[in-house]
Structure 1
Amino acid sequence: MTNQIGVHALVWVGGWSPDEARKAIESTKAAGYDLIELAAIDPSTFDTDLTAKLLQDNEIGAAVSLGLTDDTDVSSEDPDVVARGRALLLDAVHLVRDVGGSYLGGVIYSKLGRYAAPVTERGRASSVESIAWLADRAADAGVTLGLEFCNRYETNVLNTTEQTLAFIDDVDRPNVVAHLDVYHMNIEEVSFSEAVHRAADAGRLGYVHLGESHRGALGTGSIPFEEFFTALHDVDYDGVLTFESFSSEVVHPTLSSNLAIWRNTWTDSMQLALNARAFIRTHYGA
């Protein structure tokens, strides 16, 4: 298979200081991965020149993901909040470009967190308008936007493949794709195979997160990987497969709280990453 295999930065580090950047990228290389996904909750904290050099020196690609907050939620009905969200997202696009990447994904269409009510019609429209606005600027930077639909406790805008494809239709930009995450699909989807085929048939299957049902080691939970991998092969998916796992062993100041990471699902980052890469090689073939 020709798929690039990635690993989320929070497998290695909780921040992105120069020492953390070096550790994360060099560890990604040592574990046999092709790409690292940077968690850019605050893009302004990244040293883009250093990151770009480390990536180049280690021959590692980069994707970027983030989730918005209450103060930057582009699905808000408050125009000031939306404006702050758009500014943050544009900074993230520039980060992707400046480190040599081409993909920005995650919960970029709403805040990452639990809502107390369904999204409003105006809020959804604001989110669609913001992603369309961002997509035009991302296209100029050579960046694709991936909408990672998440479970009901982490967003009220996009929870399923079907919702995401309808949203993308409304955005109507060629550089916007569906970002499938099996952890969230395990909560919200009726069929893994149907979800993959639906996204592929629409021409919008663009990025994949591989994570276990408990956020720990691949193959030790309840995710139906055989069904999922078979479906990816059926549609000839040739995009990135990124391993994502979280433990209180590695803590990000805000993301760990947003994702409710309260316990150690693992303690040894390198062993976790090596085992995950072996699992993907064995069960997917990449």
Structure 2
Amino acid sequence: MATDNPANPIGVHALVWVGDTSPAALELAIGKTKAAGFDLLEISLHDSANLDVAAAREALTSAGLGVACSRGLAFDADVSSDNLAVVERGEKLLHDSLAVTRGLGGTHFTGALYSALGKYGHPLTAAGRRNVVTVLRRLAQEAAGEGMTLGLEVCNRYETNVVNTARDALRLADDIGEDNVLIHLDTYHMNIEEEDLVRPVREVGDRLGYVHVGENHRGYLGSGHIDFTAFFHALGDIGYRGPITFESFSSAVVMRGLSNDLAIWRNLWTDGEDLARHARAFIAGQLHASRAR
């Protein structure tokens, strides 16, 4: 029987609260995350140059919050490129980001780790895919030594040409060949690319390591057309107990660079606190209902 305390850590993306990772911004985000009842804060590392890792870790620990980190790459630092100098810059960015995640006390480093975040004008090349596999194998081996996992986030065709479906992610993880490379499903992207929201969850099974929950327009959960009941029942069917993080973007909160990469052109909400409290209750309610069987 389900309880009001679901086993899954429930998280929220920091862009619900703030548009950068300066000490003042993260202090605000951590406080609001705790007050809204979440277990975990996800921090995008696109702004990591402004991040005071030691101070953020202390604040997260004081608040009793877990942390996960995410990012995509840039076209001039893209490990899926055929240009080895570009690949080298991307690999350094990934290793630096893994170190930041570790420094914050996190064990989950996830996102579009395999490519730039943006629309490509061509399909992935065979050489580019080989570069992805080589780089992520080395990154995974480093992460394993620290007890960390990598997440391959399945993103839509307008944000990457490498991994667009759960099956793409599974094939890539198989080729990387490291046990700590897990799959990251996101309902916003699944709504665009998958045939339904159930079969991919079941196909990924115990290799699912991280989940993003977002509405089809990235606004309030339940205000769009995504079938969250089916999705959460599928998570229950595979016994998923990992993090479930709410992700929503609005032009009310802008992170320079990332917001443009994600094409966040309009206000889907203006009150992050109301949005987040609603999302926390919505996710907990779905988890409760999916287990009350």
Secondary structure of the structure 2 residue equivalent to 1:76: coil
In the alignment, which residue of structure 1 is the partner of 2:3?
none
Deviation at 1:94, TM superposition (A): 0.6
- For the residues of structure 1 that align with 2:227 and 2:10, how far apart are their CA atoms? 19
Aligned with 2:109 (options 84, 101, 104): 104
Secondary structure of the structure 2 residue equivalent to 1:33: coil
Identity of aligned residues (%): 51
Secondary structure of the structure 1 residue equivalent to 2:114: strand
Secondary structure of the structure 2 residue equivalent to 1:7: strand
In the alignment, which residue of structure 1 is the partner of 2:254?
251
* Letter aligned with residue 128 of structure 2: G
Q: Deviations over 1:82-115 (max 9, x none)?
A: 1111111011111111111101000110000000
Secondary structure of the structure 2 residue equivalent to 1:70: coil
TM-score by length of 2: 0.95
Q: Verify: 1:125 aligned to 2:134, yes or no.
A: no
Q: Deviations over 1:28-68 (max 9, x none)?
A: 00000000000101433311011001001100110000010
Q: Verify: 1:79 aligned to 2:123, yes or no.
A: no
- For the residues of structure 1 that align with 2:194 and 2:27, how far apart are their CA atoms? 37
In the alignment, which residue of structure 1 is the partner of 2:163?
158
- For the residues of structure 2 that align with 1:14 and 1:121, how far apart are their CA atoms? 36
- For the residues of structure 2 that align with 1:21 and 1:236, how far apart are their CA atoms? 33
- For the residues of structure 1 that align with 2:173 and 2:285, how far apart are their CA atoms? 33
Secondary structure of the structure 2 residue equivalent to 1:67: coil
In the alignment, which residue of structure 2 is the partner of 1:146?
151
* Letter aligned with residue 162 of structure 2: V
In the alignment, which residue of structure 2 is the partner of 1:225?
228
Q: Are the counterparts in 1 of residues 36 and 277 from structure 2 also a CA contact under 8 Å?
A: yes
Deviation at 1:149, TM superposition (A): 1.2
Q: Are the counterparts in 2 of residues 96 and 143 from structure 1 also a CA contact under 8 Å?
A: no
Q: Deviations over 1:121-168 (max 9, x none)?
A: 111111111110110111122210000010000000000000110110
* Letter aligned with residue 278 of structure 1: A
Aligned with 1:50 (options 38, 49, 55): 55
Q: Are the counterparts in 2 of residues 43 and 91 from structure 1 also a CA contact under 8 Å?
A: no
Q: Verify: 1:10 aligned to 2:20, yes or no.
A: no
Q: Deviations over 1:236-273 (max 9, x none)?
A: 10000000000000000011000000000000010000
- For the residues of structure 1 that align with 2:81 and 2:16, how far apart are their CA atoms? 31
In the alignment, which residue of structure 1 is the partner of 2:40?
35
- For the residues of structure 2 that align with 1:138 and 1:148, how far apart are their CA atoms? 17
Secondary structure of the structure 1 residue equivalent to 2:217: coil
Q: How many residues align?
A: 284
Q: Which structure 1 residue ranges, 5 or more long, are not aligned?
A: none
- For the residues of structure 1 that align with 2:145 and 2:121, how far apart are their CA atoms? 36
Deviation at 1:78, TM superposition (A): 0.7
- For the residues of structure 2 that align with 1:45 and 1:125, how far apart are their CA atoms? 33
Q: Structure 1 segments of 4 or more deviating over 4 A?
A: none
* Letter aligned with residue 221 of structure 1: G
Deviation at 1:17, TM superposition (A): 1.1
Secondary structure of the structure 2 residue equivalent to 1:273: helix
